Structure 1
Amino acid sequence: MKALPHPVAREALHTRRYDFRGYLRADGLFDIEGRMVDTKDYAFPNDWRGEVKPGEPVHDMLIRLTLDDHFTVKDIAVVTAASPFSVCDAITPAFNILKGATIAKGWSRTLRSSFAGAHGCTHHVEMLRAMGTVAFQTIYGWREKVKRESGLSKSEGPPAEAIPGKRPAFLDTCHALASDSEVVRTHWPQFYEPTTGEKKPG
């Protein structure tokens, strides 16, 4: 198993933990839940909370997105359980404007335009950006699971695009999914774009 090189002697100062999970609900909708927790390895004073002890959350923030299988936001819950300022929690109702939005290409742009500057919370927006990719992993993975279990597909590869024949939106979004990569040649040969001088499959 690959790992980072062994570090030099050092002192732990700060930890940020992210936890994102996807669920299929009994009513057929999906819950995408996220949590971010910041802790310090030393005590420090805070004007609002007094002394914040080692390991006590500086930030503890939670989000639940409820989506249908077309990635439409049906509901959202945003909570600030711990923060360095008493006013941090006041912004959470602003995120209700995402109800009815769709997680698709442009999701990050939607978040930037809706919650720019003082109109949002930096940490919640960071979480929502990541939750978009978690939603794709959850819902596309579920679609593939259903197809495999019904005998319609035996693919164990990356999730299929929702609309057959349409170029998947995730192509060219990273090195592995480049149009000229072996991954695309194997799983989406119709969208494979060979490098100069190479013949396209089929």
Structure 2
Amino acid sequence: MSKRKLSHTRNIQVQAFEREDGLWDIEAHLTDKKHFSLGTPDRELITSDDYLHDMCFRIALDLDMTIQEVEATMSDTPYLRCPDVLPNYQRLLGVVIGPGWQREIKQRLGATEGCTHLRELLGPMATVAYQAITDAVYRPIDYTENPQIFKPLVDSCYGLDAAGDVIPRLWPEFVEVKTN
């Protein structure tokens, strides 16, 4: 491997919390650091110890994956005007995470209507929401107890390819017999 020098680090953490009121908080935190000093028209000096971006994003969901609350903050941004876009994220209220999710985000918050960094967080937030909420809804259902619940997962990824070895072991009824 060639010698290399670290230039940029982005950290993203997404967590899900079950609330006492029945809602679920999905929280994301994004930070960007450059490993050299730079400046912007609004921040004269950003050193390697400073964040270029430091943003938090929280959505609260019900069990139907409908957004009930939205909160976003920007502690560090390259430009002073960046936080002015935060009120636009209230446009997510009432949106359901499901089919058409990415299209809905683009329609409501695309281009200059939103922040690229916060918009990018919504993909991982949706995945974490799905993981947390479906686990809670179906806990402690055994995979074989009610297989119809899991049928949408078949052929959703390589691991759950109906032609692979997992689906026949978990849900043999979902394996289609192919005839020539």
Q: Where on the TM-score scale, by shorter chain, does this alignment land: which range? A: 0.7 to 0.9
The aligned amino acid for 2:156 is: T
The aligned amino acid for 2:166 is: V
Separation in 2, partners of 1:12, 1:33:
28
Partner of 2:6: 12
Q: What is the aligned-residue identity percentage?
A: 28
TM-score where L is the length of structure 2: 0.88
Partner of 2:157: 174
8 Å contact kept, 1:111–1:129: no
Partner of 1:56: 50
For residues 5-64 of structure 1, the C-alpha deviation after alignment (integer angstroms, 9 at most, x for no partner) is xx5431111000000001101112110000110001111122211100103110111110
Structure 2 runs not aligned, ≥5 long: none
Instruction: Tell me the secondary structure at the aligned position of residue 42 of structure 2.
Output: coil
Instruction: Tell me the secondary structure at the aligned position of residue 52 of structure 1.
Output: coil
8 Å contact kept, 1:78–1:95: yes
Sort the Cα spacing of 1:83 and 1:113 in 2 relative to 1 into closer, same or farther, 3 A. same
Separation in 2, partners of 1:176, 1:50:
49
2:102 aligned with 1:92? no
Partner of 1:187: 170
Sort the Cα spacing of 1:31 and 1:176 in 2 relative to 1 into closer, same or farther, 3 A. same
The 5 A counterparts of 1:103-114 are: 103-114=97-108
Structure 1 runs not aligned, ≥5 long: 1-6, 148-152
Whose RCO is larger (CA < 8 A, sep 6+)?
2
2:111 aligned with 1:117? yes
The aligned amino acid for 2:164 is: S
Separation in 2, partners of 1:176, 1:132:
20
8 Å contact kept, 1:167–1:191: no
8 Å contact kept, 1:52–1:58: yes
The 5 A counterparts of 1:153-168 are: 153-155=141-143, 165=148, 168=151
How many residues align? The count is 180
Partner of 1:102: 96
CA shift for structure 1 position 193: 3.7
Sort the Cα spacing of 1:110 and 1:173 in 2 relative to 1 into closer, same or farther, 3 A. farther
CA shift for structure 1 position 113: 1.7
Instruction: Tell me the secondary structure at the aligned position of residue 11 of structure 2.
Output: strand
TM-score where L is the length of structure 1: 0.79
Partner of 1:25: 19
CA shift for structure 1 position 183: 2.7
Sort the Cα spacing of 1:168 and 1:109 in 2 relative to 1 into closer, same or farther, 3 A. farther
RMSD of aligned Cα (Å): 2.4
